[in-house]
C-alpha cells in the first residue's frame, strides 16, 4: 500500500463517545497507521478506509460533551486535515409519533426539512411576552456531495433495501468480543419500552419499577432490521429528558431525534448527522441500548459512504478560512478570566447571529481583550475573522475595501455599493467573527444624541453595513451607551483596571523583569500610582525596559513629572501607528468627544480635576457645572461622564446619597489638558470657589458635612494656581483648621 499522508484524508468522522467511535472503527475495511497532527491539535485520531474513501476519526474528550466540545474537535480536525465532507456518527434520543414509528435501534439521519437545514439548536432563542419560548436562527445544511449520496441511497432502499443487517453481521463476525463483552447487539423487544410522554421515571437505573400501565402499546415488527428515518435533528446543550417538552418541540419543528453535539458542527464542519436511537428522549433512560444504537449508526455510515462518489468529494471545495487582523497575537497578554468567561456566555459557539460590546475607560485593555478573544475563537472554530476600525467613517470604509480585495469582490464597486457587497459576502460565510474596534463616536453608526454626526458624509449611518446574519459582531467602545444603542443592554462586558496580580504580571512581562508571585515594595508602589491601568502599566514598563532605569528611579521621576512620562509613546506592534499609544493622548480623544457631546460634562470634568478623586457628592458636581445649564442637563452630563468611565458611582451607606469617584490619572490628564489650553487657573479657581461655598463652619454640629468636604477643600488649596485666589483661600483655610480641631476634640472625648 502506498504511503498515506494527511492530504489523503478528506472525509472526517466525529463521535461523541468511545462506544460510538469503536463501532465506526469496527466498520472499516482496513485500519491505517496513525499520523502526526498539527502542533496545537489536541484530538486523538484513528485512521482507516471504507471502500474508496480514506477516513480520519476523532472522538470528543472523555466526559466533555456538548456543542462547544464538538466545535473544538471539528476545528482541530480541519486544521490538521483537508476535510471536505464529514459525518457525525453516534447515538441519540428518538421521537416516536403516529407518522414515524421510531423504535430503539433505528437510525435517524439529518435531512433539510421545513425551515431547517437538518439540524437546529432547540435550546437557543428568546422567551417572548407570555413566557413562550421561540427558537431562532438557522444552521447550515449538509454538503451537496452527501445529500446526493443520501438521495441515491433512498432510491436503492426502495428497490432493494438498505443492507444494515449485513453490515451488523459482518461487524459481529469480525469482532465477536464487541458482542460478547460490550453488548453491540439487539437487546430484545422486551427491553424496548415506550412510556406515555407525561409519565416520569420514578427512580433507579432501569424501568423495572415503572408502571406497566403507562407503557404505550405498539404493533410488533416482523423482524429486528433497523429502519431509517430522515428529518430534523434537535441539538442542545442539555439532555432532553422530558416527554411533553420533547413532543411539543418535535411537533412544531418536525424533529425525529434529540442529541447534544450536532449544532456545534453544522456551521463549521460540512457534515451529515447519523444517530442510532438508544432511548426516547424522555426520563426513561437506559444505557443497555447504547452500544447497539452506536452500531446501527456506524452501519448506516458505512453504507452511505459506498454511495459517495470519490470525484465528488475531490471536487467539493474546502471551506476557506479568512484572517484579516491588523495585529499579531500578543504573547505578553495577561488573561483576565472573568471577562473571557462573560464573553463565552454572551457569545456561545455554534449558534446564530450574536453581538456583544466590550466597554471601558480608554487604556483599560479593550482592544487587547478583543484581539485575544479573536485568536481564541478562531482556534476553536476555524471560522473567518475580520477586524474593522470604527473610529471614523474613513477607517471603516478602508478596512471594508481591504476585505473586498481578499474576497475578490469587484473593485469596480465604490462607496455604499462596496460596503453592501462586503456585508453580504461576510453574512454568507459559514462561520465568522467581526471585531468593530474603537467605536467611540456612536453617531457614525446611528443618529443617537440629537446632534449632527461627525462623519464626512451628511448621514453615514454605518450600521446599515454591519453584517447581521449568522455570525458574531464584537464591538469595543469607551462609551457605555453603546449598550441599548448598538447592542442589547444586557450584552455588555465592562473592562476596568486590572487586579494587583494581573497588573504585576503585565508589568514584569513588558519590562523584562523576573516573574514573581509577590511584588517587591517598589513594584507595589508604582502599580498603586498607576491604579493598575493596563496602558499606563505598559507605558511605564516600556520606559524602564528601553532606558534601563530602575523601578525606584522611575517612581521618583513619575512623582515629579507624571504627566510628561504618561505622554511618552513607545512602538507597539499590537496597536496601529496612527492610534495614540499614551495615556494622555488616549484620554484627550475622550475629552474632546465629551466636550462635543456635553459642554456641561466638560465643565464638571475640568473643575473636579482640582478636587479629591474620591467621595465626590452630587452637590459638588452640580456646583461644578455652574450657571447656564438647565436642571435636567446636570444629571445627563454626569451620566455622560459615567458612560465614558471617567466617573464611577461609589456605594454609600445612604442609598439616597449620590457619590462618585474619578480615576486619579484621568484627573492628571484633565489638568495637563487645561495647562496646555491655559485654562488651569480658571478651573482651579472654580474648584476653590465651589468648596468655599459648600464647606461648613467647622463647628461641632457640622462635623458630618465637614468630613464629606474636607478632602476636597484640602486638595483645592494645594495647587500652585490657588495662589491666584488668596482672597478666598484664607477664609477657607480657617474653616478647614476649625474642622480639624473639632474632629480631634471629638476623638479625645469619645469613650
Domain end marker among 298, 315, 332 = 315
Q: Are residues 190 and 271 in the same domain?
A: yes
334-364 confidence digits (pLDDT tens): 888 899 999 988 988 655 789 999 999 888 8
Residues 683, 610: contact at Cβ < 8 Å? yes
Given 450, 477, 494, the domain boundary residue is 494
Give how far Cα 359 sits from Cα of 326, 334, 444, 702, Å: 20, 18, 17, 41
Q: Is 350 left (phi over 0), alpha (psi -120 to 50) or beta?
A: left
Q: Which of 473, 274, 265 is nearest to 382 (CA)?
A: 265
Residue 114 falls inside a structural domain? yes
Cβ pair 700, 741 in contact under 8 A: no
- The DSSP bridge pattern shows strands 472-477 and 616-617 to be unpaired
Give every strand in the sheet of 384-389, ordered side by side: 323-324, 384-389, 432-437, 472-477, 354-360, 492-495
| Predicted structure pTM score | 0.66
Among 468, 494, 520, residue at a domain's last position: 494
Query: Are both 554 and 593 inside the same structural domain?
Result: no
Q: Is residue 208 in a domain?
A: no
User: Do 404 and 485 fall within a single domain?
Assistant: yes
pLDDT reported for residue 274: 96
How far is CA 558 from its chain centroid? 37
C-alpha–C-alpha distance, residues 49 and 449, integer Å: 63
> Which stretches within 407-533 are classed as H helix?
415-427, 500-511, 521-529
User: Is residue 310 located within the same domain as residue 432?
Assistant: no
For the purposes of burial, counting CB atoms within 10 Å of the CB of 743, is it exposed (0-12), middle (13-18) or buried (19 or more)?
middle
How many Å apart are CA 262 and CA 239, to the nearest integer?
13
Can you list the pairs that 672-679 forms with residues at least 24 positions away whose Cβ atoms lie under 8 Å?
672/563, 672/567, 672/584, 673/588, 673/591, 674/606, 674/609, 679/606
* 522 and 406, same domain (yes or no): no
Strand-pairing partners, residue 108, are 229, 275
Is residue 55 in a domain? yes
First to last CA, the chain: 96
pLDDT digits (tens, 9 = 90+) for 372-417: 999 888 877 778 999 999 988 989 999 999 999 988 888 788 889 9
In order of 259, 281, 319, 718, the CA distances from 205 in angstroms are 20, 15, 44, 76
How far is 453 from 469, CA to CA, in rounded Å? 26
Confidence of residue 710 (pLDDT cuts 50, 70, 90): confident
CA distances in angstroms from 9 to 52, 79, 162, 268, 450, listed in the order given: 11, 12, 26, 18, 59
CA angle 665, 671, 675 (to 5 degrees): 145
Looking at the structure, do residues 306 and 365 belong to the same domain, yes or no? no
Q: Is the dihedral of CA 120, 124, 125, 131 positive or negative?
A: positive
Q: How confident is the model at residue 751 (pLDDT cuts 50, 70, 90)?
A: low
Q: Which residues of 626-636 are buried (b: 16+ CB within 10 A; e: fewer)?
A: eeebeeeebee
**Chain-wide mean pLDDT for the chain?**
85
Q: Which is higher by pLDDT, 113 or 608?
A: 608
Element at 249 (helix H, strand E): helix 243-253
| CATH number for 679 | 1.10.10
The domain in which residue 662 lies consists of 583-749
Return d(Cα 293, Cα 666) in angstroms, integer: 64
362, 586 Cβ separation under 8 angstroms: yes
Do the strands 492-495 and 384-389 form a parallel or antiparallel pair, or are they unpaired?
unpaired
CB burial readout 379-414, b (16+ within 10 A) else e: ebbbbbbbbbbbbbbebbbebbbebbeebebeeeee
The DSSP symbol for 1 reads -
CATH of the domain at 299: 3.40.50.1580
Shared domain for 168 and 21, answered yes or no, is yes
Q: By three-state DSSP, how is residue 131 classified?
A: coil
Half-sphere exposure of 216 (CA within 13 A, CB side): 18
Q: Quick check: is 568 in a domain? A: no
Q: Is residue 577 part of a domain?
A: no
> What are the cell numbers at 42?
489536541
Q: What is the DSSP letter of 210?
A: S
CB 154 within 8 A of CB 304: no
CA distance 361 to 587: 8
- φ, ψ at 25 (rounded to 5°): -60, -35
pLDDT in tens, 277-305: 999 988 888 789 999 999 999 999 999 99
User: Does 565 fall in a domain?
Assistant: no
Give the model's pLDDT for residue 698. Answer: 56
- Residue-wise pLDDT tens digits, 457-491: 444 589 999 998 888 999 999 899 999 999 999 99
Is 599 in the same domain as 640? Answer: yes
CATH number, position 388? 3.40.50.300
Confidence (pLDDT) at 447: 67
Same domain, 170 and 283: yes
Confidence of residue 658 (pLDDT cuts 50, 70, 90): confident
Distance (Å, rounded) from C-alpha 68 to C-alpha 350? 7
Residue 288 C-alpha cell reads as 443497555
Helices 599-608 & 618-625 angle (0-180, nearest 10): 120
Same domain, 285 and 328: no
Over the stretch 20-69, which tens digit does the pLDDT of each residue have?
Answer: 999 999 999 999 999 988 878 899 999 999 999 999 999 999 988 888 88
- What is the distance between the alpha carbons of residues 91 and 395, in angstroms, rounded to a whole number? 50
One domain for residues 519 and 639: no
pLDDT for residue 370: 94
- What is the maximal distance between C-alpha atoms in the chain? 107
Q: Assign 452 a pLDDT band (cuts: 50, 70, 90).
A: very low
C-alpha angle 538-539-545 in degrees, rounded to nearest 5: 85
Do residues 662 and 728 share a domain?
yes
Residues 381, 346 contacting (CB under 8 angstroms): no
Report the distance separating Cα 247 and Cα 258, nearest Å.
11
Q: Does 650 fall in a domain?
A: yes
Element (H or E) spanning 26, and its range?
helix 18-26
DSSP string of 212-243, one letter each residue: GGGBPP-PPPSS-PPPEEEEEEEE-SS----H
- For 600-746, list the strands marked E by DSSP: 616-617, 647-650, 659-662
Q: What's CA 292's distance to the chain center, in Å?
A: 39
State the residue for C-alpha cell 460510538.
20
Nearest CA-CA partner of 178 in 294, 320, 302, 75: 294
- Domain total for the chain? 4
Residue 650 burial (C-beta neighbours within 10 Å; 0-12, 13-18, 19+): middle
Q: How far apart are CA 51 and CA 701, in angstroms?
A: 95
Convert the pLDDT of each residue in 717-739 to its tens digit.
888 876 666 666 667 777 877 87
Residue 211 lies in a domain: no
Amino acid at each position: 500500500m502506498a504511503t498515506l499522508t494527511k492530504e489523503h484524508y478528506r472525509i472526517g468522522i466525529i463521535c461523541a463517545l468511545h462506544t460510538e467511535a469503536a463501532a465506526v472503527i469496527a466498520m472499516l475495511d482496513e485500519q491505517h497507521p496513525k499520523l502526526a497532527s498539527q502542533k496545537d491539535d489536541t484530538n486523538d485520531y484513528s485512521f482507516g478506509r471504507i471502500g474508496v474513501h480514506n477516513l480520519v476519526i476523532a472522538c470528543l474528550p472523555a466526559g466533555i460533551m456538548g456543542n462547544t466540545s464538538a466545535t473544538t474537535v471539528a476545528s482541530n480536525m480541519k486544521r490538521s486535515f483537508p476535510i471536505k465532507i464529514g459525518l457525525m456518527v453516534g447515538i441519540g434520543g428518538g421521537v416516536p409519533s403516529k407518522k414515524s414509528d421510531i423504535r430503539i435501534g433505528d437510525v435517524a439521519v439529518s435531512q433539510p426539512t421545513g425551515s431547517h437545514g437538518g439540524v437546529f439548536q432547540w435550546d437557543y432563542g428568546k422567551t417572548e411576552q407570555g413566557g413562550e419560548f421561540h427558537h431562532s436562527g438557522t444552521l447550515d445544511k449538509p454538503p451537496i456531495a452527501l445529500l446526493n449520496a443520501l438521495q441515491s441511497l433512498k432510491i436503492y432502499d426502495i428497490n432493494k433495501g438498505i443492507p444494515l443487517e449485513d453490515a451488523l453481521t459482518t461487524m459481529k463476525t469480525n469482532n465477536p468480543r464487541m458482542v460478547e463483552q460490550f453488548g453491540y447487539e439487539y437487546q430484545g423487544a422486551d427491553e424496548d419500552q415506550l412510556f406515555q410522554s407525561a409519565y416520569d421515571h420514578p427512580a433507579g437505573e432501569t424501568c423495572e419499577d415503572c408502571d406497566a400501565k403507562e407503557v404505550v402499546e405498539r404493533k410488533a415488527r416482523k423482524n429486528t432490521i433497523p429502519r431509517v428515518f430522515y428529518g430534523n435533528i434537535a441539538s442542545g446543550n442539555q439532555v432532553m429528558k422530558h416527554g411533553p417538552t420533547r413532543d411539543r418541540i418535535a411537533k412544531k419543528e418536525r424533529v425525529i431525534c434529540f442529541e447534544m453535539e450536532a449544532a456545534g458542527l453544522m456551521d463549521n464542519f460540512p457534515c451529515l448527522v447519523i444517530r442510532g436511537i438508544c432511548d426516547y428522549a424522555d426520563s426513561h433512560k437506559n444505557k443497555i441500548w447504547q452500544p447497539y444504537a452506536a452500531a446501527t449508526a456506524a452501519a448506516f455510515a458505512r453504507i452511505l459512504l459506498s454511495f459517495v462518489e470519490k470525484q465528488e468529494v475531490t471536487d467539493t471545495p474546502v471551506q476557506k478560512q479568512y484572517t484579516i487582523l491588523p495585529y499579531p497575537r500578543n504573547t505578553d497578554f495577561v488573561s483576565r478570566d472573568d471577562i473571557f468567561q462573560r464573553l463565552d456566555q454572551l457569545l456561545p459557539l455554534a449558534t446564530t447571529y450574536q453581538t456583544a460590546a466590550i466597554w471601558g475607560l480608554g487604556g483599560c485593555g479593550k482592544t487587547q481583550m478583543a484581539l485575544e478573544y479573536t485568536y481564541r475563537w478562531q482556534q476553536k472554530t476555524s471560522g473567518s475573522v475580520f477586524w474593522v476600525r470604527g473610529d471614523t467613517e474613513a477607517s471603516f470604509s478602508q478596512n471594508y475595501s481591504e476585505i473586498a480585495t481578499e474576497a475578490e469582490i469587484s473593485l469596480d464597486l465604490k462607496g455604499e455599493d462596496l460596503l453592501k457587497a462586503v456585508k453580504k459576502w461576510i453574512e454568507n460565510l459559514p462561520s465568522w467573527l467581526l471585531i468593530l474596534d474603537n467605536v467611540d463616536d456612536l453617531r457614525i453608526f446611528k443618529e443617537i444624541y440629537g446632534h449632527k454626526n461627525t462623519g464626512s458624509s451628511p448621514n453615514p449611518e454605518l450600521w446599515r453595513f454591519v453584517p447581521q446574519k449568522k455570525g458574531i459582531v464584537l464591538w469595543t467602545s469607551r462609551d457605555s451607551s453603546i449598550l441599548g444603542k448598538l447592542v442589547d443592554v444586557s450584552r455588555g462586558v465592562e473592562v476596568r483596571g486590572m487586579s494587583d496580580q494581573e497588573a504585576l504580571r503585565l508589568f514584569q512581562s513588558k519590562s523584562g523583569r523576573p516573574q514573581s508571585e509577590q511584588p517587591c515594595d517598589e513594584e507595589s508602589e508604582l502599580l498603586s500610582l498607576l491604579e493598575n491601568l493596563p496602558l499606563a502599566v505598559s507605558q511605564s514598563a516600556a520606559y524602564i525596559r528601553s532606558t534601563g532605569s530602575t523601578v525606584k528611579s522611575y517612581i521618583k521621576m513619575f512623582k515629579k513629572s507624571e504627566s510628561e512620562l504618561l505622554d511618552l509613546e513607545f512602538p507597539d506592534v499590537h496597536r496601529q501607528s496612527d492610534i495614540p499609544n499614551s495615556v494622555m493622548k488616549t484620554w484627550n480623544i475622550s475629552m474632546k468627544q465629551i466636550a462635543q457631546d456635553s459642554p456641561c460634562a466638560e465643565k464638571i470634568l475640568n473643575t473636579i480635576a482640582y478636587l479629591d478623586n474620591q467621595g465626590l457628592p452630587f452637590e459638588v458636581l452640580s456646583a461644578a457645572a455652574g450657571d447656564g445649564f438647565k436642571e435636567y442637563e446636570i444629571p445627563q452630563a454626569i451620566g455622560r461622564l459615567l458612560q465614558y468611565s471617567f466617573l464611577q458611582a461609589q456605594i454609600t451607606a445612604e442609598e439616597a446619597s449620590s457619590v462618585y469617584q474619578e480615576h486619579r490619572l484621568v484627573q492628571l490628564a484633565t489638568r495637563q489638558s487645561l495647562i496646555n489650553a491655559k485654562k488651569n487657573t480658571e478651573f482651579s479657581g472654580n474648584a476653590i470657589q465651589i468648596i468655599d461655598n459648600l464647606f461648613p463652619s467647622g463647628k461641632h454640629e457640622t462635623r458630618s458635612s465637614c468630613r464629606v468636604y474636607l478632602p476636597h477643600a484640602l486638595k483645592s488649596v494645594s495647587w500652585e494656581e490657588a495662589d491666584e485666589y488668596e482672597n478666598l483661600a484664607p477664609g477657607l483655610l480657617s474653616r478647614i483648621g476649625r474642622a480639624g480641631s473639632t474632629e480631634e476634640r471629638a476623638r479625645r472625648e469619645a469613650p
